[in-house]
């Protein structure tokens, strides 16, 4: 079933009064012996889409729910445009939230779902209807106004949930893994359309996801959380190209580890000395972390490596290369070049002459 794309904002009534600055300051939250947030410091700028990315249990949804007013924090501050909203009830925080499960009222039509918050605020029936139809037009579903949730696809239901969140003209839009329940094709289309709509509206948006592809493709900046702490917050390109910690490097994109040895203030890896990007750990054996596209590979009878696997990815083929010590490294090559390096063939691995990211060596089985 095809659906009309999300549209540009209609002229006339503004869809929101303005975007807000959101700040988390030294935010802490524990549930029993489990620390969900451990001193989170993070600022979301007006009009930007910031993705909170991390594994399950890292605190990203807790931070979102605290901002929405659905959870309380143990210490720290949550500020919206400089105002501490800790004591502000959820319904007065000027935030619209879209949940993973849609949370539409099954007995209400699409239009009535969108207008529900306006009804609670006492808006007239005619004003509610006008507003609902504007928003249904915005999300490309005016023809579904009188349909009930069970008569719509998952992607359409999520659009209705998005329209409902925008109905009250929030200064902040909160998206809690809103695409995870959808199939791959719908998810791809809807994330592009949500991003386009967010940019058109200029509304400050926090997007929680554990899917790195979603975060990198949609966000202005990505904040990577781990165990309740902020590891790094940067633009997608910077996060991918210049991760500041080994956790970020391995969580965002594909990374291989290659054993390395200290050499002055640098390291030696694959027989060559490299400068280090960042700080060399004070003790312990070392690994260098490398992206598949940043590794060179040539056929060589005595190159010290063997091609043990190949995955066709279209224009690129990802080869798996095993070194003499058993280390396996992923290498992305143009498919035509990869054809010259068949599985079972000997090869020589080359790292570019640039600073490398290092970490303490991960032992086998860890």
Per-residue pLDDT of the chain (366 residues; tens, 9 = 90+): 444 445 444 443 344 556 899 999 999 999 999 999 999 999 999 999 999 999 989 999 999 999 999 999 999 999 999 999 999 998 888 898 888 777 889 999 999 999 998 888 888 888 989 989 988 988 888 999 999 999 998 888 988 988 898 888 889 999 998 888 777 778 888 888 888 888 888 899 999 998 899 999 999 999 999 999 999 999 999 999 889 888 999 999 899 999 999 988 899 999 899 999 888 887 789 999 999 999 999 999 888 999 999 999 999 999 999 999 999 999 999 999 999 999 999 999 999 888 999 998 876 545
The domains spanning 22-241 and 254-360 adopt the same CATH topology: no
What's the rounded Cα separation, in Å, for the pair 321 and 229? 35
SS3 280: coil
What's the rounded Cα separation, in Å, for the pair 135 and 166? 8
Which residues are CB-contacts of 293 (< 8 A; sequence separation ≥ 6)?
332
Selected from 3.30.2420.10, 3.40.50.1820, 3.40.720.10, 3.40.50.300, the CATH number assigned to the domain covering 22-241 reads 3.40.50.300
pTM: 0.83
Helix or strand run (H / E) with residue 184: helix 184-201
Instruction: Compute φ and ψ for 240, nearest 5 degrees.
Output: -75, -45
The pLDDT of residue 17: 54
The pLDDT of residue 14: 42
Nearest to 43 by CA among 214, 217, 233, 173: 233
- Sign of the dihedral through C-alpha 168, 171, 176, 177: positive
- Does CATH place domain 254-360 in 2.40.50.140? yes
The pLDDT of residue 120: 84
- Residue ranges covered by each domain of the chain: 22-241, 254-360
The pLDDT of residue 8: 42
The CA distances from residue 302 to 176, 295, 298, 344, in Å, are 52, 18, 11, 13
Nearest to 304 by CA among 280, 329, 332: 329
Return the half-sphere exposure (C-beta side, CA atoms, 13 A cut-off) of residue 1: 9
Please list the residues that pair with 305 across neighbouring strands.
323, 347
């Amino acid at each position: 079933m095809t659906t009309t794309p999300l549209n540009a904002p209609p002229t006339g009534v503004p869809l929101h009064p303005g975007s807000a600055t959101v700040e988390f300051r030294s935010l802490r939250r524990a549930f029993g012996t489990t620390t969900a947030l451990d001193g989170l410091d993070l600022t979301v700028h007006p009009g930007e889409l910031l993705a909170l990315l991390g594994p399950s249990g890292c605190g990203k949804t807790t931070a979102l729910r605290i901002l929405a007013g659905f959870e309380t924090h143990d210490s720290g501050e949550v500020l919206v445009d400089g105002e501490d909203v800790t004591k502000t009830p959820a319904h007065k925080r000027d935030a619209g939230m879209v949940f993973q499960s849609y949370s539409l009222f099954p007995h209400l039509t699409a239009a009535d779902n969108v207008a529900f918050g306006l009804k609670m605020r006492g808006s007239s029936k005619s004003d509610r209807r006008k507003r609902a139809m504007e928003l249904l037009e915005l999300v490309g579903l005016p023809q579904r106004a009188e349909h009930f949730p069970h008569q719509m696809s998952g992607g359409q239901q999520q659009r209705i949930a998005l329209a409902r969140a925008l109905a009250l003209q929030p200064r902040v839009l909160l998206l809690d893994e809103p695409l995870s329940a959808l199939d791959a094709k719908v998810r791809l289309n809807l994330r592009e359309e949500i991003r386009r709509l967010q940019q058109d509206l200029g509304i400050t948006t926090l997007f929680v996801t554990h899917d790195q592809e979603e975060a990198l493709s949609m966000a202005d900046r990505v904040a990577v959380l781990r165990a309740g702490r902020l590891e790094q917050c940067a633009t997608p390109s910077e996060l991918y190209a210049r991760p500041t910690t080994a956790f970020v490097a391995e969580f965002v994109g594909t990374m291989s580890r290659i054993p390395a040895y200290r050499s002055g203030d640098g390291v030696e890896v694959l027989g060559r000395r490299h400068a280090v990007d960042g700080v060399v750990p004070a003790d312990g054996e070392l690994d260098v972390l490398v992206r598949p596209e940043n590794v060179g590979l040539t056929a060589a009878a005595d190159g010290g490596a063997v091609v043990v696997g190949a995955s066709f990815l279209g224009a690129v083929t990802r080869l798996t290369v095993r070194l003499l010590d058993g280390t396996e490294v992923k290498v992305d090559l143009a498919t035509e070049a990869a054809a010259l390096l068949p599985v079972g063939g000997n090869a020589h691995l080359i790292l570019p002459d640039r600073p490398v990211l290092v970490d303490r060596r991960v032992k086998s089985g860890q």
